[in-house]
Amino acid sequence: MSTARGPDTEAMPSDSEWSRESRLVAGARPQEAGQPLNTPIVPASNFLAGGEFGYARDHGTPSWVALERLMADLEGGHALSFGSGMAAVAAVFDQLSVGAHIVWPEDCYQGVAGIIAAGETNGRWTSHRVATADTEAWIHAAGTADLIWLESPSNPLLRIADLEAIGDADRSADSIMAVDNTLATPLNQRPLELGADISVTSATKYIGGHSDLLCGVTVTADRALHERISRSRLLNGATPGNLEAFLACRGARTLALRLGAGQHNAGVLAERLHTHGSVELVRYPGLVSHPQHELARRQLQGMGTIISFDVVGGAAAAERLLGHLRLIAHATSFGAVESTIERRASIPGQEHLPEGLLRLSVGIEKVDDLWGDLDAALSSI
C-alpha cells in the first residue's frame, strides 16, 4: 500500500528572503504560465495513471498539496493536512506503541484529554500531567516520556510553556515532543525551531479564519516521522475535503492581517478589562500582570487574540453577561474574524475551570465597538 506523497519542502516555490507575511500571500501558488493565481478546488478522488496524483487517499490532490506546501514553508518542516484538528491530533497519538508513557499539561484541550483517557482505559498507555509553566517538572519528566505533549499558550488559561528549555531536555532518541500551536499560529511561534518534533495546528481556527471549515495540519521536522504520520492518515482515512483545503489555503492568505488586527484589539480590551470593577482576573500574555509575561515576550512574536477573564459573581453573573452581548457572539471555538465568547466551565469536561471564567476570542471589529458591547454587558451584572 502506498503512502501519501507529502510535500517536498525544498521544491516549494517560495523565496527564503521574503517575510512569512509575504510568503503567506505568494506561497504554494501555481508557477506555470496561464495557470490561476491560486490552486482551485479539485473535486477528484481519482486521477489518470502516470501523473503526479493517483488515488486521492494515497497521493493527495492539488487542493491538499497547496495547503500542505504553504504550511510546510511557514513552519519549516513537512506538512500533512487532515479532516479536522482532532484527526491531526489522533494521528500523532497513533505513533505510540502499547505501553507508552505520555506527559501532558494540566491545562489542555479537552479533545486531547479524551484521547488520553480512552487510551488509558484500554490499557494502551499511561500518562501523568504537569503544570504548563513548571519547566523543571517538564525537564525531569522528559527522560521517561515516549510522548511529550505541550500546548502553549494553553487553552483557556493562557499559560506558557518554555518550549526551548523543554526541547533541550534529555530524552530517549525515539521519544516525540509535540506542540499544539493552534493559539499561537505559525506567525507567532515556530515549535520546530524550539526543539519540537511535531507542530499541530487546528486550521479550523486562525488558518481558515472564517468559521466555515474543519481542517487540521501536522508539520514534522523529520521526514521519517512525517511518513509514519502519513501512513496513519491513509489507514484511518483522515483526509481533508478538497473544498476545506481550498478554503484553508485561501484563509491563510490573510492570516497576518487578521491576526494583527485581532491582537491589537485584544491588547486594548485586556487592559480595559484589567481595571474594570466587575472583573476579578484577566489572563492575557501581553499584560505585565501575566505571571509569564517575560517568557511570552521572548518566545512569541505576538500575544494572540484570546483573553480569558473571571467576572465578579461567578457563573450566574457570567451567564447574565452573555445574555446582554449584542456584537460579540456567544459561540464556541475561536480564531475567526468575528469575536466570540463562552463560559468554559459550562462545557462538558471543563467543569474544573473557574465558574465565572469567560474565554473571549477577539476578532477584527472596531475595538471601541467591542468595548462598548463588553462594558454594557459587564454593567448589567
Check whether 136 has a pLDDT greater than 70: yes
In the predicted structure, residue 9 carries a pLDDT above the cut 80: no
- Provide the terminal-to-terminal Cα distance of the chain, rounded to the nearest Å: 60
The pLDDT score that the predictor gives to residue 348 is: 87
**308 with 321, same domain?**
yes
Domain boundary among 222, 252, 282: 252
Same domain, 278 and 224: no
Catalytic residue among 107, 180, 197, 373: 180
- State whether 337 and 197 are in the same domain: no
**Distance, CA of 373 to CA of 74 (rounded, Å):** 35
**Catalytic member of 159, 205, 343, 359:** 205
222 and 110 both lie in a single domain: yes
Is position 272 annotated as part of the catalytic site?
A: no
Residues 273 and 360 in one domain: yes
pLDDT at 182 over 60: yes
Q: Which of 99, 91, 93 is nearest to 227 (CA)?
A: 91
C-alpha cell at 181: 500551536
List the CATH number of the domain containing 270: 3.90.1150.10
Which of these three, 226, 252, 278, is where a domain ends?
A: 252
Domain-embedded: residue 4: no
Query: Considering the chain, what is the average pLDDT of its residues?
Result: 94
Q: Is the pLDDT of residue 14 over 90?
A: no
Q: Is residue 1 part of a domain?
A: no
* Percent of residues, the chain, with pLDDT higher than 70: 96
Burial class (CB in 10 A: 0-12, 13-18, 19+), 88: buried
Task: State phi, psi for 282 to the nearest 5 degrees.
Answer: -120, 130
Share of the chain above pLDDT 90, in %: 93
**186 and 52 in a common domain:** yes
> Which cell goes with 348?
462538558
Contact call for residues 193 and 171 (beta carbons, < 8 A) = no
- Within a domain: residue 327? yes
pLDDT at 6 over 50: no
CATH of the domain at 66: 3.40.640.10
Shared domain check, 178 and 205: yes
Please give the pLDDT value at position 336: 98
Alpha carbon distance 68, 28 (integer Å): 9
Q: Is 258 annotated as catalytic?
A: no
Rounded distance, CA 119 to CA 141, Å? Answer: 20
**Mean pLDDT computed over 105-128:** 96
pLDDT at position 100 over 90: yes
Question: Domain for residue 29, yes or no?
Answer: yes
User: Same domain, yes or no, for 197 and 140?
Assistant: yes
Residue 112 lies in a domain: yes
**Predicted confidence band of residue 177 (pLDDT cuts 50, 70, 90):** very high
The CA angle 237-241-244, to the nearest 5 degrees, is: 140
If one counts the domains in the chain, the total is 2
359 and 239 belong to one structural domain: no
Both 239 and 346 in a single domain?
no
Average pLDDT on 282-306 reads: 98
State the residue range of the domain holding 332. 255-379
Tell me if 3 is assigned to some domain.
no
Give Cα separations from 54 to 105, 226, 236, 286, 340 (angstroms).
41, 20, 18, 48, 41
User: Is 141 part of a structural domain of the chain?
Assistant: yes
C-alpha cell at 55: 488515488
CA distance linking residue 336 with residue 362, whole number of Å: 8
Of 252, 270, 301, the residue at which a domain comes to its end is: 252
Per annotation, catalytic residue among 23, 73, 107, 109: 109
200, pLDDT greater than 50: yes
Q: State residue 15's pLDDT score.
A: 57
Residue 298: Cβ-neighbour burial (10 angstroms; 0-12, 13-18, 19+): exposed
State the pLDDT at residue 101.
Answer: 98
Q: Kindly state whether residues 299 and 201 are assigned to the same domain.
A: no
- Minimum mean pLDDT among 48-52, 176-180, 187-191, 251-255: which range? 48-52
Q: State the Cα–Cα distance between residues 316 and 378, nearest whole angstrom.
A: 12
H/E stretch holding 220 reads strand 216-220
Q: Which of 5, 20, 57, 253 is catalytic?
A: 57
Res. 4: pLDDT tops 90: no
| Residue 2 belongs to some domain of the structure | no
CB 32 within 8 A of CB 87: no
For 228-255, the pLDDT digits (tens) are 999 999 999 999 999 999 999 999 999 9
Question: What's the pTM value of the predicted model, to 2 decimals?
Answer: 0.94
Tell me the pLDDT tens digit for each residue of 205-216.
999 999 999 999
User: Rounded CA gap, 178 and 197, in Å?
Assistant: 6
**Residues 155 and 232 placed together within one structural domain of the fold:** yes
The residues pairing with 358 across neighbouring beta strands, listed in sequence order, are 309, 343
Q: What is the pLDDT of residue 2?
A: 33
pLDDT at 92 over 80: yes
Catalytic residue at 205? yes
Q: Does residue 310 carry a catalytic annotation?
A: no
pLDDT exceeds 60 at position 64: yes
- H helix runs in the chain, sequence order: 20-26, 56-59, 62-75, 85-93, 110-121, 135-142, 163-167, 185-188, 223-236, 242-252, 255-274, 293-299, 314-324, 367-379
pLDDT digits (tens, 9 = 90+) for 331-369: 999 999 999 999 999 988 889 999 999 999 999 999 999
